[in-house]
Amino acid sequence: MCRSIKTLRRAGEAATEEEIRAAALQFVRKVSGYRQPSRANAPTFDAAVDEISEASQRLLDGLVSPAPRRDG
């Protein structure tokens, strides 16, 4: 779906807050169809980015198995 979102789960390297937020922003842009929402839609758009960022962080924090290997 969002091909520009990169895998944030990497062996030995934690994703940064900036990476997580950028991925959440890309996801919300794709789902909403807005690159930049109108002023009327901005609060809802921003809240979605915040919620997805938080959910992504919880997911990454909760995964216990090693990150998948990416061969060639």
Q: Domain for residue 69, yes or no?
A: no
pLDDT (average), residues 63-72: 68
Q: Which domain holds residue 46?
A: 17-62
Q: What is the pTM of this model?
A: 0.80
pLDDT digits over 12-64, tens only? 888 999 999 999 999 999 999 999 999 999 999 999 999 999 999 999 999 88
Cβ atoms within 10 Å, residue 12: 6
Q: Domain for residue 24, yes or no?
A: yes
48 vs 6: which has the higher pLDDT: 48
Distances (CA, A) of 47 to 15, 27, 41, 50, 52: 21, 13, 10, 5, 9
For tokens 């109108």, the residue is: 38
The Cα 21–Cα 41 span in angstroms is 19
The Cα 61–Cα 32 span in angstroms is 27
pLDDT at residue 1 in the model: 47
Residue of 27, 22, 25 whose CA lies nearest to 3 = 27
